[in-house]
C-alpha cells in the first residue's frame, strides 16, 4: 500500500513591477519563502506576507503556495 509524506512547502510572492510597453502585459517579479509549515493557516501566511510588503520594491499582485508530498510504496 502506498504512503504519502510531506516533502516541502513554500510560498511565492508575486509583485506587480509595472506594464511591459511592448506587449501591455504586467511585469511580475517574485520572491519566495521556503520551509513553510505544511498546511499552514492561510490567514497566517497572508499575515507574514503583509508584514514583508513594506520592505519590498513593488506592490503585491498575488500569493502562490505550493505543497509537495512524496508517494512511496
- Rounded-to-integer distance, Cα 12 and Cα 25, Å: 20
Instruction: Indicate the pTM of the whole model.
Output: 0.84
- Rounded-to-integer distance, Cα 50 and Cα 29, Å: 16
What pLDDT score was predicted for residue 44?
97
Q: Could you list the pLDDT tens digit for every one of the 73 residues in the chain?
A: 999 999 999 999 999 999 999 999 999 999 999 999 999 999 999 999 999 999 999 999 999 999 999 999 9
Residue 5 host element (H or E):
strand 3-19
What pLDDT score was predicted for residue 25?
98
Q: In what order do the strands lie in the sheet with 26-33?
A: 26-33, 3-19, 60-72
Amino acid at each position: 500500500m502506498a504512503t504519502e509524506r510531506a516533502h516541502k512547502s513554500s510560498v511565492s510572492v508575486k509583485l506587480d513591477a509595472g506594464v511591459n510597453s511592448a506587449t501591455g502585459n504586467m511585469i511580475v517579479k517574485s520572491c519566495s519563502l521556503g520551509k513553510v509549515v505544511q498546511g499552514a493557516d492561510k490567514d497566517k501566511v497572508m499575515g507574514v506576507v503583509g508584514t514583508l510588503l513594506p520592505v519590498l520594491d513593488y506592490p503585491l499582485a498575488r500569493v502562490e503556495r505550493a505543497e509537495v508530498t512524496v508517494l512511496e510504496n
